[in-house]
Structure 1
Amino acid sequence: MDGMVVTGRWTEIGQVADIPRQGARVVASRIGDIAVFRALDDTVFATLDRCPHKGGPLSQGIVHGHAVTCPLHNWVIDLRSGEAAAPDTGCVRRIPVRVEDGRVLLSLPV
């Protein structure tokens, strides 16, 4: 089951090059902080910056493949689905993201 997806208006938040490979940046929004991740293969993902376990800042976690490990309790979150890896259960809200000419756009609620 995929994680909940928040959709809205497309908003440019910067360049792909502004996000380190295997790293993240945080964008403030009216629904809370959003973690924008860049995988080693340059795929970009966005989720709310709160682990479903105890609310840890996912943006400070370790990005590996298309997943991030929460810095608080080592939960692994699949960035494609938002789901926690077994045996843990939970889901983080994903934010639709697209890349156009090196620019990162998020679909943020209005």
Structure 2
Amino acid sequence: MVNKDVTKVCIGRLDELPEQLGKTVYIEDKELAVFKLSNGSIRAIENRCPHKGGVLAEGIVSGEYVFCPMHDWKISLEDGIVQEPDHGCVKTYETLIEGEHVYLVY
């Protein structure tokens, strides 16, 4: 049963997402950073670092983390939490792969 309050939006084809690199995606008023990890999973997070607003889609990906390109803050792509000693978080979004397409679910 599908929750009627859930929105599902196609954000591209799976083969269009570069592995280990971010892609900026705009959905309504949201700017997201979308990543295809080396294990094939897709992660989507808010595209601004909580520190100084660095564009996270331009960051370096390592495992399940992205490093902000401005000041190297390490942010979890799973839960959006910044690794200590820094602090803060970014919003994460659920993604779904159906066939060759990737969807954002919110």
Confirm or deny a common fold (TM above 0.5): yes
Paired residue for 2:10? 12
- The residue correspondences of 1:89-108 to structure 2 (distance < 5 A) are 89-108=87-106
- Residue segments in structure 2 that go unaligned for 5+ positions in a row: none
Match of 1:65 among 63, 66, 69: 63
RMSD between aligned alpha carbons?
1.4
* Identical-residue share of aligned pairs (%): 36
The structure where strand makes up a greater share of residues is 2
Q: Which has the higher contact order (CA 8 A, sep 6+)?
A: 1
2:42 aligned with 1:44: yes
Query: Cα distance, 1:32 vs. partner?
Result: 2.5
**1:41-100: CA deviation from partner (whole Å, max 9, x where unpaired):** 111000110011111000000011011000000000010010001111100011111111
| Count of paired positions | 102
Shift of 1:26: 1.0
Structure 1: distance between partners of 2:89 and 2:14? 25
Q: TM-score, normalised by structure 1?
A: 0.86
Task: Letter of the 1:91 partner, please give it.
Answer: C
Q: 2:52 aligned with 1:54, yes or no?
A: yes
Moved over 3 A (4+): none
